[in-house]
A and B are shown apart, each in its own frame.
Chain A
Amino acid sequence: MNYFAGIDIGSTAIKAAVVDEDGRLIGTRIAPTGSSFHKNAMETFETLLTQHGIARDAVKFITATGYGRKLFKEADDSISEITANAIGACEAGKAFGGVRTIINIGGQDSKAIQIDVNGNVSNFAMNDKCAAGTGRFLDVAARNLEIDLEELGDYHFGGSGAPLTINSTCAVFAESEIIGLLAKGHGKEEIVAGIHYSIARRTVRLAKRVGIEDRVYFDGGPALNKGLVAAIQDELGRELVIPEQPQTTTAFGAAILARSQYLAE
């Protein structure tokens, strides 16, 4: 049996995915990027293979994506994470009846992608220079509030009052805003909800720039945060499609591409 792999080396996490000859997803693995990302990427990939009892030489083609794609020399080819995300979401979205718009929030960027019926990118937008309104922003906020990142979702629904307004999506400015709100005696719940709405507004603006069509697929680590999902749905005025493993869609897309590149050759 031949296998094909996609490795997504992001700013925060490394994601690996393996598909078989029929393009079925065999498994995925996620690990922090760390400072020696090349070593970590190799380890993540090899552990994934061991987990599923796949020999290294059974993997016929590797496609790398994400910020570290160019530096991962073991890969046979590389592709931008926007294209990989589109391919992965199109495939994963079939279970939901097909998707045409993708919202991705990563560790340090956020994207909105519009795809056509064949899964080809027709338009996309990406945040510019800074990490405003991305996963890193949630990180900073959770640290200020002294709660775990995973708990943010629960806090979102725990408040009694209306969500507070956090005006800034800049991680640095928001930090002082959050500290100010805490000092005024506001509850963590209202602050968390406020943070989610602040990211949601920014994300929806980005999505509107590319145009929202049909079902909207939301992926990336922050898609695990139920509070953020609720806030985006609220701002967007429609339901989001959330895959089972929102972090690995892009790696999955790269693996699918690896398979079709191998078959085409």
Chain B
Amino acid sequence: MNTNPNEATAPAYNRSRQAREAETLLDRIQDDFPDNPEAMRYFYDLFRRVYCQGEPVKHEGTLVGTTCIHAPEELIYAFGATPVRLCNGSYHYDQIGADFMPAKSCPLVKATLGSLHAKAAVPNTQALELIVNPTTCDQKTKASAMIGAMGYQVHDLELPPAKESEEARLYWQRSVRRLALRLRELTGRKLTRKNLQQAMARTARAQTAFRTLHQLRKNAPALFLGKDAFLVTNAYFFDDLDRWTAAVEQLNAELQLRQMEGFQAAQKRAPRILFTGSPPIFPNLKLPLLIEEAGGVVVADETCSANRMLYDMTAVDEWLLNDMVDGLADRYLKPCTCPIFTRNDDRQRRLLQLAADFNVDGVVYQAFAGCQVYEMEYRSIADVLAAQGIPMLYVETDYSPDDMGQLSTRIEAFLESIKTRKRNAR
């Protein structure tokens, strides 16, 4: 069943422009750095097949699009459906999306709208039977009706504006239950404790693999570069879950071997960077790449396209199915450090913890122009980090390549100041 009334296939030019963008980036990621892990080839090839050659995303059962990490994917898997995250990083689609939203709004939301409007081949929007749109920031909230007007079925997953209060928790639990009902209607299947447990076990295995990779990045000197790490987590958006997990496990095994051999992915004194703010989404890996091209290394991140999406695990087991769904809902609300929440002290705590655990020298804070919540949290984060003596570079940018020259100068100067600081401290 295809609920999309417009059966026309994606125009070829859209595909090829996005393909060129993807190809240029993949070439930079692969060719500009020596000694990429052998196991990364799986991910390089995956992105080339899907983004450059337009290979349809593999899925079982109903394909359900999600526009945010707040959509509980275990619930979707439990109904025998496959979630695919639609958040888009393409400048090409950002420009198309500018027809729907003010030019100054978030490029991520615009690009997502653009790709849906253009019936993009990636990730097979033609096959989407439902789009779950959590009502997070203003822009995603308002995107709902626009996506609906394009002919897609949209489910507004209502998210409370706070996460600490009991009221918010109950509100959210009811929202998630309502999503379960919608999925039952869509798939015609029944939710059971058993299939929910199985879904949780699958994502838990994926998250375990991610956590191992995350821990390996603590190594000094660095074993693994951030540009590859973001590629791995971006593949999670659309890749087959079990295939992805196996590929990450293989990567981990290789990195563990490299660890024993004393391999270095970057210079010994390369500044160790913690990346936070608006998420790098393929092919917009502009900022992490610039950091690593300038001789820094992104060792950890606090973004919803990587760490925030995968770190917190779901391990819920209750006697009653309803309680399990509620427990699952809690996982998608409580640990989240998204700046849309009224109070977000958790984000500050997490950043400080990551900075300490990963022996971080500096923080790079990306705020997409138009992503107001990140822009607004800038000052509080800057103050908290400054109090701990951790330097931070705040970068307001978008998907356009216009500011690459300016950005590379700023990043180099930031890395140089970190190096001087470290030299003086010795």
Contacts and interface: CB of A to CB of B under 8 A. Distances in A.
Contacts of A127: 406
A80 interface: yes
Interface in B382-414: 391, 396, 402-403, 405-406, 409-410, 412-413
Nearest to B386: A123
A42 B409 CA distance: 22
A83 B413 contact: yes
Interface in A34-81: 67, 79-81
Interface in B408-426: 409-410, 412-413, 416-417, 420-421, 424
A126 B394 CA distance: 11
Given A118-B424, A121-B420, A122-B417, A129 B402 contact: yes
Nearest to B409: A80
Interface of A: 67, 79-83, 109, 118, 120-122, 124, 126-129
Contact of B409 (A81, A118, A120, A129): A81
A122 B424 CA distance: 13
B157 to A, nearest CB: 35
Contacts of A67: 405, 409
Contacts of A82: 409-410, 412-413, 416
19 contacts: A67-B405, A67-B409, A79-B412, A79-B416, A82-B410, A82-B413, A82-B416, A83-B413, A83-B417, A83-B420, A109-B406, A118-B424, A120-B417, A121-B413, A121-B417, A124-B417, A127-B406, A128-B403, A129-B403
A109 B421 CA distance: 26
Contacts of B420: 83, 120-121
Nearest to A85: B413
Given A83-B413, A122-B391, A124-B413, 13 more contacts: A80-B409, A80-B412, A80-B413, A109-B406, A120-B421, A120-B424, A121-B413, A124-B410, A124-B417, A126-B406, A126-B410, A128-B396, A129-B402
Contacts of A124: 410, 413, 417
Contacts of B416: 79-80, 82-83, 121
A20 B412 CA distance: 27
Contacts of B391: 122
Contacts of B403: 128-129
A262 to B, nearest CB: 17
Nearest to B416: A83
Given A120-B424, A121-B417, A128 B406 contact: yes
A258 to B, nearest CB: 15
A242 to B, nearest CB: 23
A82 to B, nearest CB: 3
A67 B406 CA distance: 9
A172 to B, nearest CB: 15
Contacts, number: 46
Interface residues of B, number: 15
Nearest to A113: B413
A83 B412 CA distance: 9
A115 B22 CA distance: 40
Given A118-B424, A120-B421, A129 B413 contact: no
B421 A126 contact: no
Contacts of B396: 128
A181 B410 CA distance: 37
Contacts of B402: 129
A127 B416 CA distance: 19
A158 to B, nearest CB: 36
Nearest to B415: A80
9 closest A-B pairs (Cβ-Cβ)? A82-B413, A80-B412, A121-B417, A80-B413, A83-B416, A120-B420, A129-B403, A80-B409, A129-B402
Contacts of A128: 396, 403, 406
Contacts of B424: 118, 120
B70 to A, nearest CB: 31
A79 B421 CA distance: 16
Contacts of B421: 120
Contacts of B417: 83, 120-122, 124
Contacts of A122: 391, 417
A127 B402 CA distance: 13
A124 B411 CA distance: 11
A169 to B, nearest CB: 16
Nearest to A124: B413
Contacts of A83: 412-413, 416-417, 420
A122 B405 CA distance: 22
Contacts of B410: 80, 82, 124, 126
Nearest to A81: B409
A81 B412 CA distance: 9
Contact of B406 (A79, A118, A120, A129): A129
A109 B409 CA distance: 11
B123 to A, nearest CB: 31
**Among B396, B406, B421, B424, residue most surrounded by chain A Cβ atoms (within 10 Å):** B406
A211 to B, nearest CB: 11
Contacts of A80: 409-410, 412-413, 416
A118 B425 CA distance: 13
**Among B391, B406, B413, B421, residue most surrounded by chain A Cβ atoms (within 10 Å):** B413
B273 to A, nearest CB: 16
Nearest to B420: A120
A64 to B, nearest CB: 12
Contacts of B412: 79-80, 82-83
